[in-house]
């Protein structure tokens, strides 16, 4: 089959790789009909390169049709139309019973000290072949699937794999009081969708911050107040406080993570680590503070005293400095973590109607053949050609 494979920092290619096959009775094989490029894929594209191996199959946002099932896949059957969550979870362990599917004890990558295995996401999360391919083996398929109806186009449901539940969790974790104000930092796919979900809640004001004109325009067109970081990089906190009566917003979602602009020291370490042998680079990436923390620092500065910061952008450093005195003094609540996809699906499905309140049918900015994946990664990483969300079609 054809698949998008990692070949080095900022280098992917589309190659012929072996077809997946049933390896365990809980496996299923899915024929992919749509698969997305995620902002987290950009972390693998460069910052987390030391944890990648040449030939790794990328991607964790696929959907398709079941082609084959193992003997222990529950009610899943050939021909079912399914979305595949980005995390692999069994659905019956202690953590899954707590709906903490990203911490599944059956698939935890214990040798790396990380949570549930993820599709297409490096040695850190099990090095499981990903979904930017023609076919995908789904472990723990009895639970690691979301059954969706026939009829509507893939765009209606494909974001259930990651974007929708991740954005939904970000807003839920923000615990914005009724009639309150939410600031969203970053208008990539997650931040953009978080503003849309926030608009379905009893939240009075949604303010978004970014520096890419096309992304600001998308949010503004949907009635979101926007702040252009190009104009307020040095005084963002003051600007937001002025917009919120001098107090600051009740909650802030950091949807940026390690892709933040600025933080030149961290940027330098990331680039250096990408050039070092893996045996040297991995400990540096695991233990050193290598994140670009500009967005998180801004969130802590912006949020009102007693407010909540919801951290959904991915960070990777182990010793990144946090302004603990400020956080303590302001009594900030900080909530974070990978999205527990299936926890939020029942809340999201009623929003995926023909009325399309979240704009999922037109959310993608680009729909490209799988063979154009190298170009797609390039424009997405550079924020070029208005790229916000890219769907690949095998």
**What is the CATH number for 331?**
3.40.50.720
User: Which pLDDT value is given to residue 268?
Assistant: 45
Q: What range does the domain containing 230 cover?
A: 166-336
Residues 10 and 154 in one domain: yes
User: Which pLDDT value is given to residue 283?
Assistant: 59
Residues 217 and 308 in one domain: yes
Q: Which residues contact 295 (CB under 8 A, 6 or more apart)?
A: 185, 186, 254, 256, 257, 260, 313
User: Which pLDDT value is given to residue 321?
Assistant: 73
Cβ burial 109-147 (10 Å sphere, 16+ → b, else e) = beebebbbbbbbbbbbbbbbbbbbbbbbbbbbbbbbbbe
Give me the chain's average pLDDT, please.
91
Token output for 277: 């042998």
Q: Pick the closest to residue 249 from 200, 191, 278, 209 (CA basis).
A: 209
Render pLDDT for 271-320 as a digit per residue (tens, 0 to 9). 544 545 555 455 555 554 445 688 888 999 999 999 999 999 777 665 56
CA distance linking residue 287 with residue 93, whole number of Å: 30
Residues 58 and 126 in one domain: yes
User: Which pLDDT value is given to residue 278?
Assistant: 55
Percentage above 70 pLDDT, the chain? 90
CA distance linking residue 329 with residue 327, whole number of Å: 6
Residues 186 and 315 in one domain: yes
The phi and psi torsions of 28 (rounded to 5 degrees) equal -140, 155
The phi and psi torsions of 167 (rounded to 5 degrees) equal -65, -40
Domain boundary, last residue among 336, 351, 385: 336
User: What CATH number corresponds to the domain at position 136?
Assistant: 3.90.180.10
User: Which pLDDT value is given to residue 72?
Assistant: 98
| Alpha-carbon separation of residue 157 from 35, 154, 221, 331, 351 (angstroms) | 11, 6, 23, 38, 11
Residues 14 and 143 in one domain: yes
Q: Are 361 and 155 in contact (CB under 8 A)?
A: yes
Residues 232 and 189 in one domain: yes
**3-state DSSP assignment of residue 181:** strand
Residue 203 has pLDDT above 60, yes or no: yes
Q: Are 211 and 230 in contact (CB under 8 A)?
A: yes
Residues 254 and 330 in one domain: yes
Q: Which is more confident, 327 or 304?
A: 304
Render pLDDT for 215-260 as a digit per residue (tens, 0 to 9). 999 999 999 999 999 999 889 999 999 999 999 999 999 998 765 4
Residues 184 and 326 in one domain: yes
Render pLDDT for 133-176 as a digit per residue (tens, 0 to 9). 999 999 999 999 999 999 999 999 999 999 999 999 999 999 99
Render pLDDT for 35-70 as a digit per residue (tens, 0 to 9). 999 988 888 887 777 888 999 999 999 999 999 999
Residue 270 has pLDDT above 90, yes or no: no
Q: How many CB atoms lie within 10 A of CB 37?
A: 29
User: Which pLDDT value is given to residue 60?
Assistant: 97
Overall number of domains in the chain: 2
Residues 306 and 364 in one domain: no
Q: Which is more confident, 267 or 55?
A: 55
| Alpha-carbon separation of residue 87 from 41, 383, 387 (angstroms) | 14, 26, 25
Token output for 98: 């707590």
pTM, whole model, 2 decimals? Answer: 0.91
| Alpha-carbon separation of residue 292 from 33, 194, 230, 366 (angstroms) | 35, 21, 17, 28
User: Which pLDDT value is given to residue 314?
Assistant: 72
Residues composing the chain: 394
Residues 237 and 285 in one domain: yes
CA distance linking residue 207 with residue 45, whole number of Å: 30
Cβ burial 1-25 (10 Å sphere, 16+ → b, else e) = bbbbbbeebeebebeebeebebeee
Q: Which string of DSSP letters, residue by residue, matches 95-159?
A: HHHTT-GGG-TTT-BGGGTBSS-BBT-TGGGT-B--SSBSEEEETTTTTS-EE--SSS-GGGTGG
Residues 155 and 57 in one domain: yes
Q: How many CB atoms lie within 10 A of CB 308?
A: 23
Residue 25 has pLDDT above 80, yes or no: yes
pLDDT classification of 265: cutoffs 50, 70, 90: very low
Token output for 167: 């954005």
Render pLDDT for 357-377 as a digit per residue (tens, 0 to 9). 999 999 999 999 999 999 999
User: Which pLDDT value is given to residue 271?
Assistant: 52
Residues 245 and 350 in one domain: no
User: Which pLDDT value is given to residue 43?
Assistant: 80
Question: Helix axis angle, 278-287 relative to 264-275, nearest 10°?
Answer: 150
CA distance linking residue 50 with residue 283, whole number of Å: 9
User: Which pLDDT value is given to residue 323?
Assistant: 85
């Amino acid at each position: 089959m054809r698949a998008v494979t990692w070949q080095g920092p900022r280098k992917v290619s589309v190659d012929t790789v072996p077809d997946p096959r049933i390896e365990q009775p809980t496996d299923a094989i899915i024929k992919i009909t749509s698969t997305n490029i995620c902002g987290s894929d950009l972390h693998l594209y460069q910052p987390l390169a030391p944890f990648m191996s040449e030939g790794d199959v990328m991607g964790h946002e696929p959907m398709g049709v079941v082609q084959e099932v193992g003997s222990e896949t529950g009610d899943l059957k050939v021909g079912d139309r399914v979305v595949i969550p980005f995390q692999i979870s069994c659905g019956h362990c202690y953590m899954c019973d707590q709906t903490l599917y990203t911490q599944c004890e059956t698939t935890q990558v214990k040798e790396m000290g990380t949570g549930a295995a993820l599709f297409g996401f490096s040695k850190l999360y099990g090095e499981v072949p990903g979904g930017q391919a023609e076919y995908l083996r789904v472990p723990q398929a009895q639970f690691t699937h979301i059954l969706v109806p026939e009829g509507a186009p893939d765009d209606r449901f494909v974001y259930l794999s990651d974007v929708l539940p991740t954005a939904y969790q970000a807003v839920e974790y923000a615990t914005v009081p009724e009639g309150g104000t939410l600031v969203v930092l970053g208008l990539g796919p997650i931040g953009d969708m978080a503003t849309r979900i926030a608009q379905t809640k009893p939240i009075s004001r949604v303010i978004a911050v970014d520096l890419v004109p096309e992304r600001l325009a998308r949010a503004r067109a949907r009635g979101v107040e926007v702040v252009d970081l190009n104009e307020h990089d040095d005084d963002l906190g003051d600007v937001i406080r002025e917009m919120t009566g001098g107090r600051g917003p009740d909650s802030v979602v950091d949807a940026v993570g390690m892709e933040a602009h600025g933080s030149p020291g961290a940027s330098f370490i990331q680039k250096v680590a990408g050039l070092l042998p893996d045996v040297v680079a991995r400990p540096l990436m695991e233990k050193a503070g290598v994140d670009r923390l500009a967005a998180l620092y801004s969130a802590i500065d912006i949020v009102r005293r007693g407010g909540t910061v919801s951290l959904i952008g991915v960070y990777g450093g182990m010793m990144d400095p946090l302004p603990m005195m400020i956080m303590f003094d302001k009594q900030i609540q900080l909530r974070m973590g990978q999205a527990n996809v299936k926890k939020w699906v029942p809340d999201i499905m009623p929003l995926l109607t023909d009325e399309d309140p979240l704009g999922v049918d037109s959310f993608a900015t680009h729909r490209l053949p799988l063979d154009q994946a190298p170009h797609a990664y390039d424009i997405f990483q550079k924020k070029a050609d208005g790229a916000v969300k890219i769907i690949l079609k095998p």
